[in-house]
Amino acid sequence: MADIRSIPEGPLGSVAYVVVLAGLSILIDPSVPPAKIIGTIPPVAFILATHGHIDHIAAADHWRDQTGASLLIHQDDADCLTDPSRNLSMILGQTRVFRPAENHVTDQQIIDLDETYRICVWHTPGHSAGSVCYLLEEENRPIALFSGDTLFCRSIGRTDLGGDSAQMVASLSRLGRMAKERQLTEENDLAVYPGHGPQTWLLSEIKRNPYWPSDR
């Protein structure tokens, strides 16, 4: 069974997640120093970034140095790693640059983790051009959505820092269609692990999030 651990100690309150499986781990958003986690989890197979803002990639190079794992990010946010104006570190009075990503993810890409678990990539631009959600599946059954700064508990990611409000609406609507296709119910909802704040549930957000598009 997948063990999902949250580490809410990144810059600006960002949350990193570790998915622990039998014999390997997946890190989602390298925002916290490896010292907080290394030694307590199996080897890290992949480092996945939901997007390229500094509060979500702050320890990207440290994690790669410590684990040898590849960093994956969507192509549309790839230059955030090397451009401090794109990763927003300049807004915080810093000039942070990182090594380029080893690989880029694409919409609907499947990342096989083992014989039981896989991750499906959902490109959800709006907060940033390359924002993605990572859907963790167990034997093709969705069990967790890592939403980055696309969706929060009763809120959504801001779009005024290089984002696009129309794209955000389209991305949320797409998540709503996914919920219908998966036939989610109150009793069979999908856990959502956002980039900031507490865990929530997808159908609950569709019904109760005040920022959800009117086509809910």
State the pLDDT confidence band at 39, using cuts at 50, 70 and 90: confident
Q: Is residue 213 part of a domain?
A: no
pLDDT by residue (tens digit) across 103-125? Answer: 999 999 999 999 999 999 999 99
Distance of CA 160 to the CA centre of its chain: 19
pLDDT recorded at residue 216: 63
Mean pLDDT across 45-65: 98
Q: Is residue 122 part of a domain?
A: yes
- The CATH number of the domain holding residue 76 is 3.60.15.10
Q: Is residue 52 part of a domain?
A: yes
pLDDT recorded at residue 104: 98
pLDDT recorded at residue 121: 98
Rounded Cα distance, 141 and 150, in Å: 22
DSSP-assigned beta bridge partners for residue 28: 17, 48
State the pLDDT confidence band at 161, using cuts at 50, 70 and 90: very high
CB–CB of 87/80 below 8 Å?
A: yes
Q: Is residue 96 part of a domain?
A: yes
| 8-state DSSP, 69 | P
Q: Is residue 216 part of a domain?
A: no
Residue 2 burial (C-beta neighbours within 10 Å; 0-12, 13-18, 19+): middle
CB–CB of 50/146 below 8 Å?
A: yes
pTM: 0.97
3-state SS, residue 93? coil
Q: Which residues contact 175 (CB under 8 A, 6 or more apart)?
A: 122, 124, 133, 145, 150, 151, 202, 206
Q: Is residue 167 part of a domain?
A: yes
| 8-state DSSP, 102 | S
Containing domain of residue 132, as a range? 3-208
Q: How many domains does the chain have?
A: 1
Strand blocks (E) in the chain: 3-7, 16-21, 24-28, 44-48, 70-74, 103-105, 110-112, 117-123, 132-138, 141-148, 151-152, 155-156, 191-194, 200-201
Q: Is residue 214 part of a domain?
A: no
